[in-house]
C-alpha cells in the first residue's frame, strides 16, 4: 500500500462510517473462484515452508537461568533424536538470551558456524534462527514472556500432511462491511490456547456486516496494513476448529467500507500442532450462526508428541 492510500485508510479508521452492502454484486464468479483456489494453494505452501507452522516440534518457556539444549533426556530444551545429545547451553538473564555451543558440535546461523551468539526475540526486528542438521530453534516473545521454538525441517509430519478440507466456495459470504471507529483505539485482552496466557493487541473499532438479512458485528485488531479477525461461529462445534478461525481484511477505505471474505477464513496454527500461541475467539466475536465456508478442521492433520 503506498503512503497516500495508507494514510487515507488510517484516516478512515478514525473517521469513516458507512452502511453495509453486497460485496458480491457484479462479481465475475468464475474468476473469483479461481482466486480463492489460488489463495488455498498459497495457504498450503506457506504451511509447508521451512519456517511454516508445520515444522514446529517444540516450545519451551524461559525464565532467568541456564538451560541445556540437545537430544539427551537431561536437557531442559529437548531436541529431536537426530540432534547431538548435548548441543550446548542457553543462558537467560534480564530478558536477554545467549547460546553457547558445545565443543565439536556444528551449529550455524545463516550458513556461518557459531560457537556463542546472542538470541534476540522475534519481536526485536533482529530475528536469529540457529540450525543444527535439520533442527532449528529461535527465541519468541509473547506477552513479555520468552520461549524457545524448535523446528525440524525434515519432520515426517510434513511428508504426509494434507489435503486441507474446505467448504464449497460461496460468493454470498464475500460481504461488504462497515467500520465503526472507537473514539480512541483500545488495547484489549485476548485469551490464547495456553491457559493463563493472554495477548494485548490494539482494536481500532468494530465492523458490522449483513448475512441473510441479519446484521452482525466483530471486533478486529490492527495487523500492519490489515485488520485481523479472530472469530467463532456454530461450525466450531462440529466442523471447524473449536477455538475459532482467522480472517484478514484490508483497512477500510475513505468511506469506511471494507470487504470480509469468509471463503478465506482459516484455522489457527494450533489446529496443526501443540507448539503455537494462538489467540482464540472472544465471546463478543462468536457469531450465533454457521459460517459454512472457508477452512474446516481435520483432527488427523494435528500433530502431538507421541503421534
Rounded CA-CA distance 6/253 in Å is: 9
Q: Is residue 218 part of a domain?
A: yes
39 and 172 in a single domain? The answer is yes
Whether residues 174 and 284 fall in one domain? yes
Which pLDDT score is estimated for 267? 98
Task: Give yes or no: residues 211 and 131 share one domain.
Answer: no
pLDDT tens for 4-45 read: 333 333 444 443 333 334 666 678 999 999 999 999 999 999
d(CA 146, CA 106): 25
Residue with cell 492510500: 5
pTM of the model: 0.86
Shared-domain flag, residues 266 and 215: yes
Distances (CA, A) of 30 to 26, 36, 161, 171, 194: 12, 10, 28, 10, 41
Do both 147 and 167 map to the same domain?
Answer: no
Q: Can you give the pLDDT at residue 307? A: 52
Distance CA 217, CA 286 (A): 9
Domain contains 147: yes
Judge if 95 and 39 occupy the same domain. no
The residue ranges of the chain whose pLDDT is under 70 are 1-25, 306-307
Q: Which domain holds residue 244?
A: 3-49+163-301
Q: Indicate the number of domains in the chain.
A: 2
pLDDT digits (tens, 9 = 90+) for 154-190: 998 888 898 999 999 999 999 999 999 999 999 999 9
Q: Is the domain of 58 the same as that of 100?
A: yes
Identify whether 139 is part of a domain: yes
- In a domain, residue 157? The reply is no
**Burial track 193-226 (b if 16+ CB lie within 10 A, e otherwise):** bbeeeebebebbbbbbbbbeeeebebbbbbeeeb
- Whether 206 maps to a domain, the answer reads yes
CATH number reported for the structural domain that contains residue 91 in this entry = 2.60.200.20
Q: What is the pLDDT of residue 265?
A: 98
Q: Taking Cα atoms as reference points, which of 144, 133, 30, 157 lies closest to residue 82?
A: 133
Peptide bond into 269 cis (omega under 30): no
Amino acid at each position: 500500500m503506498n503512503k497516500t492510500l495508507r494514510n487515507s485508510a488510517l484516516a478512515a479508521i478514525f473517521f469513516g462510517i458507512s452502511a453495509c452492502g453486497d460485496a458480491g454484486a457484479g462479481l465475475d464468479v468464475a474468476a473469483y473462484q479461481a482466486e480463492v483456489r489460488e489463495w488455498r494453494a498459497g495457504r498450503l505452501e506457506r504451511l509447508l515452508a521451512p519456517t511454516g507452522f508445520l515444522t514446529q516440534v517444540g516450545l519451551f518457556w524461559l525464565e532467568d537461568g541456564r538451560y541445556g539444549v540437545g537430544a539427551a533426556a537431561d536437557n531442559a530444551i529437548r531436541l529431536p533424536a537426530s540432534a547431538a545429545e548435548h548441543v550446548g547451553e542457553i543462558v537467560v538473564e534480564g530478558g536477554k538470551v545467549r547460546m553457547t555451543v558445545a565443543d565439536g558440535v556444528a551449529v550455524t546461523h545463516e550458513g556461518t558456524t557459531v560457537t556463542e551468539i546472542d538470541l534476540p526475540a522475534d519481536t526485536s526486528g533482529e530475528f536469529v534462527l540457529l540450525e543444527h542438521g535439520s533442527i532449528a530453534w529461535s527465541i519468541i516473545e509473547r506477552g513479555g514472556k520468552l520461549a524457545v521454538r524448535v523446528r525440524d525441517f525434515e519432520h515426517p509430519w510434513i511428508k504426509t500432511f494434507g489435503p486441507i478440507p474446505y467448504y464449497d466456495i460461496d460468493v454470498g459470504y464475500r460481504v461488504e462491511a462497515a467500520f465503526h471507529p472507537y473514539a480512541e483505539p483500545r488495547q484489549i485482552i485476548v485469551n490464547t490456547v495456553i491457559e493463563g496466557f493472554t495477548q494485548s493487541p490494539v482494536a481500532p473499532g468494530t465492523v458490522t456486516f449483513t448475512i441473510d438479512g441479519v446484521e452482525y458485528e466483530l471486533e478486529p485488531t490492527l495487523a500492519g496494513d490489515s485488520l485481523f479477525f479472530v472469530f467463532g461461529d456454530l461450525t466450531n462445534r462440529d466442523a471447524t476448529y473449536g477455538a475459532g478461525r482467522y480472517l484478514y481484511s484490508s483497512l477500510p477505505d475513505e468511506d469506511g467500507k471494507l470487504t470480509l471474505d469468509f471463503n478465506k477464513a482459516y484455522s489457527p496454527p494450533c489446529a496443526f500442532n501443540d507448539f503455537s500461541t494462538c489467540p482464540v475467539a472472544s465471546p463478543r466475536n462468536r457469531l450465533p450462526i454457521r459460517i459454512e465456508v472457508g477452512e474446516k478442521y481435520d483432527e488427523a492433520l494435528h500433530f502431538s508428541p507421541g503421534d
